[in-house]
Amino acid sequence: MKIHNTDIVGCIVLEPIIYKDSRGDFMETFHKAELEEALGYPIDFVQDNQSVSHKNVLRGLHFQRGKHAQAKLGRVIQGSALDVVVDLRKESPSFGKTVTIELTGENRLQIFIPKGVAHGFLALENQTVFSYKCDAYYNRESEAGILYNDPDLCIDWGIPDEDLILSEKDRALPLFKQLYS
Ligand SMILES: Cc1cn([C@H]2C[C@H](O)[C@@H](COP(=O)(O)OP(=O)(O)O[C@H]3O[C@@H](C)C(=O)[C@@H](O)[C@H]3O)O2)c(=O)[nH]c1=O
């Protein structure tokens, strides 16, 4: 697989090799040793998640606090999503930076989201299937997030605000500066 760095330190994009033949195609969706080599540290995923979203559903921007912080490896299996990560690590040279990437069932790209970074995505098609691995278990009490349209983050979701579909929980998330002032 090919590894691409992003503007957020430690957040990388993985481009798998796709082997096509007369039957269809094949790819490796996860290779622990190659990922660890790219990251330079060990990673142990303990939970796999999958969500299915209607077009214009926005999930995020989420993270878990403290010892429940999660690194994630995400991809779209079907449909397409605009994936967004925000660096919340105060000590990071890319603190406050945002990375946006389109993940689709066709481009097969994967994003590695390090601990300490908020994550969200917008489904660009109906029946968008988003699958991700996490290196720490879900912990309801540690759930946290940042409001998707925080003016300080300037994320261009590409569609009018009134068309977005969000959970009540996500609409009530705080602003970046409320968390980091
Ligand atoms: C994330 C999660 C949710 N749940 C439950 C809680 C709730 O009843 C239901 C839906 O949860 P949510 O609304 O938080 O699901 P969702 O908005 O899809 O949350 C996810 O968003 C993306 C952007 C991420 O990065 C993930 O880490 C996760 O936060 O599923 C679990 O049981 N385990 C889990 O790991």
Task: Give 161 Cα–ligand 1 centroid separation in angstroms.
Answer: 22
pLDDT at 84 exceeding the cut of 70: yes
Average pLDDT over residues 3-16: 98
Mean pLDDT of the chain: 97
Q: Say which of 4, 62, 68, 148 is annotated catalytic.
A: 62
What's the whole-model pTM score?
0.97
Question: pLDDT grade, residue 179 (50/70/90)?
Answer: confident
Please answer whether residues 134 and 71 qualify as being in contact, where contact means their C-beta atoms are separated by less than 8 angstroms.
yes
Tell me how crowded residue 80 is: count the other CB atoms within 10 A of its CB. Answer: 19
Which ipTM value was assigned to this complex?
Answer: 0.99
Which residue owns the Cα nearest ligand 1 atom 31? 138
Task: Give 19 Cα–ligand 1 centroid separation in angstroms.
Answer: 33
pLDDT at res. 181: 67
132 given a catalytic annotation: yes
The per-residue pLDDT for range 94-141, each reduced to its tens digit, is 999 999 999 999 999 999 999 999 999 999 999 999 999 999 999 999
Average pLDDT over residues 87-96: 96
Q: Cα(75)–Cα(106) distance, rounded to whole angstroms?
A: 11
Residue with tokens 């009490």: 141
* Pairing outcome for strands 12-15 and 98-104: unpaired
Domains of the chain, start order: 2-15+45-179 (2.60.120.10)
The single-letter code of the amino acid at 103 is L
148 given a catalytic annotation: no
The SS3 assignment for 162 reads helix
The per-residue pLDDT for range 41-61, each reduced to its tens digit, is 999 999 999 999 999 999 999
Q: Cα(178)–Cα(181) distance, rounded to whole angstroms?
A: 6
Please answer whether residues 39 and 31 qualify as being in contact, where contact means their C-beta atoms are separated by less than 8 angstroms.
no
Question: pLDDT grade, residue 22 (50/70/90)?
Answer: very high
pLDDT at 70 exceeding the cut of 80: yes
In the numeric block, which tokens belong to residue 146? 């940042």
Dihedrals phi, psi of 113, to nearest 5 degrees: -110, 110
Q: Say which of 41, 54, 132, 148 is annotated catalytic.
A: 132
Average pLDDT over residues 152-174: 97
